[in-house]
Structure 1
Amino acid sequence: MRNDEAIDIIKPALTKARFEHTLRVADTAAELANLYHVSTEKVELAAIFHDYAKFKPLDEMKQFILDSQLPNDLLDYHHEVWHGPVASVIVAEQFGIKDQEISDAIRYHTTGKANLGAMGMVVFLADYIEPGRSIPGVDEVRAMAREDLFHACLMVSRNTLQFLLSKNTTIYPDSFHAYNYFLSQLKKA
């Protein structure tokens, strides 16, 4: 599927602000893909679809999780972690995009995960550092993103975990596994 076709698909499903965010994530992901020798074509497609299910009704996403091969334990956590996994399945089923790297990049763009591949890491990072974001600590992550992919992803994981802990909310286990994975990779280097 071409990027312009994917953009035409996602645009009506997103708010104006989320659509603009998505285009910035795709641009940022393409820059990072070039830097880290990841397929620009595939990473842009994953980035375009990463928030495709963001505004689906919660009851629809819940039913989708129950009816699909997605882990039902997603339902035990905040609904903000649902849209990535749901979008990854919708993109495969409705649009025939079954590439595992693209699927993982969409599915884990919010939480990360242990053993996340380079394409998934690029989308995970691009979603956090795109130019429209003004989260505390984002400038440090942006600077690290140009130097070390694992270290930048570790910073995203750490910042996200700290934010969620400060909100006293449940945290999906993949987020912890991602943090531990990125840290272990840095310690090996």
Structure 2
Amino acid sequence: MEREQALQIVKVQLTEHRYEHTIGVMETAIKLADQYGGDVQKAELAAIFHDYAKFRPKEEMRQIIIEQKMPEELLEYNGELWHAPVGAYLVEKEAGITDDEVLDAIRYHTSGRVGMTLLDKIIYLADYIEPGRHFPGVEEVRSMAAEDLNLALIQSMKNTIQFLMKKNQPVFPDTFKAYNSIVKNSGG
């Protein structure tokens, strides 16, 4: 699917602000893929569609999680996580994208997972560091991303986990597992 076609499909699903975020994620994902030897076309496509389901009604997302036999554990955590796995399902169903790597990068862009692929890492990190993001710690992760993808990923996950803990919010277990996996595999 060509960039312009993908962007037109996504644009009607998003607010103007979220569409601008998507463009930033796309541009960042392309740079990261180019820098780290990833598939630039897949990175571009996954980035464009990563927030496809972001503004779907919570009840619709809840039903899809149940009907598609996604881990119901998702329903016990913040609804902000839901748009990623639901988005992967809807992107396949509604936009006709069937590339498993692209769909997985969309599916895990909020939680991460054990054994993240290069594309998973690129989309997770691009979403975190795109130029429109402004929050404590993002500049440090941007700098790290220019030097070491895994170290940047570790820091972004650490920041997210600490943020949730400071707010007394539960942390989705897959995020802890992803963090641990990347730390172990990058030599600590």
TM bucket by the smaller chain?
over 0.9
Alignment of 1:175-186 (within 5 A): 175-186=175-186
Once the two structures are TM-superposed, the CA of residue 98 in structure 1 deviates from its matched residue by: 1.8
Alpha-carbon distance in 2 for matches of 1:104, 1:174: 14
Tell me which residue corresponds to 2:23.
23
Instruction: Give 1:150-161 correspondences, 5 Å limit.
Output: 150-161=150-161
> Which residue does 2:187 correspond to in 1?
187
Aligned-pair CA distance for 1:143: 0.7
The structural deviation recorded for 1:69 is 3.3
Q: State yes or no: 1:130 paired with 2:130.
A: yes
Matches within 5 A, 1:49-64: 49-64=49-64
**Secondary structure of 2:12's aligned partner:** helix
5 Å-filtered alignment, 1:25-104, equals 25-104=25-104
Q: Is the 8 A contact 1:150 1:185 kept in 2?
A: no
Gap regions ≥5 residues in structure 1: none
| Cα drift, residue 27 of structure 1 | 0.2
Question: How far apart are residue 95 of structure 1 and its match?
Answer: 2.3
Q: Indicate the SS of the match to 1:183.
A: helix
Shift of 1:94: 2.1
Q: Can you list the C-alpha shifts for 1:38-89, whole angstroms capped at 9, x where unaligned?
A: 1111111000000010000000100111111311111111100000000001
Q: Which amino acid aligns with 2:154?
A: L
Q: Could you tell me how far 1:186 is from its partner in structure 2?
A: 1.7
Q: Quote the Cα distance in structure 2 between the aligned partners of 1:120 and 1:114.
A: 11
d(CA) in 2 for partners of 1:54, 1:150:
26
- Amino acid of the residue matched to residue 113 of structure 2? K
Computed over aligned residues only, the root mean square deviation of the Cα atoms, in angstroms, reads 1.0
CA deviations over 1:104-157 (Å, ceiling 9, x no partner): 110111111110100010000000100111111111111110111111100111
Moved over 6 A (4+): none
Are 2:105 and 2:120, in contact at CA under 8 Å, matched by a contact in 1?
A: yes
Counterpart of 2:118, as a letter, is A
| TM-score, scaled relative to structure 1 | 0.97
Aligned twin of 2:3? 3
- Rounded to whole Å, the distance in 1 between the matches of 2:85 and 2:59 is 15
Paired residue type of 1:100: D
> What corresponds to 1:163 in structure 2?
163
SS in structure 2 at match of 1:187: coil
Report how far residue 96 of structure 1 moved.
Answer: 2.4
- 1:93 is displaced (CA, Å) by 1.9
Is contact 2:129-2:138 (8 Å) kept? yes
Distance between the aligned counterparts of 1:73 and 1:186, measured in 2? 28
Contact 1:121/1:153, CA 8 A, preserved across alignment: yes
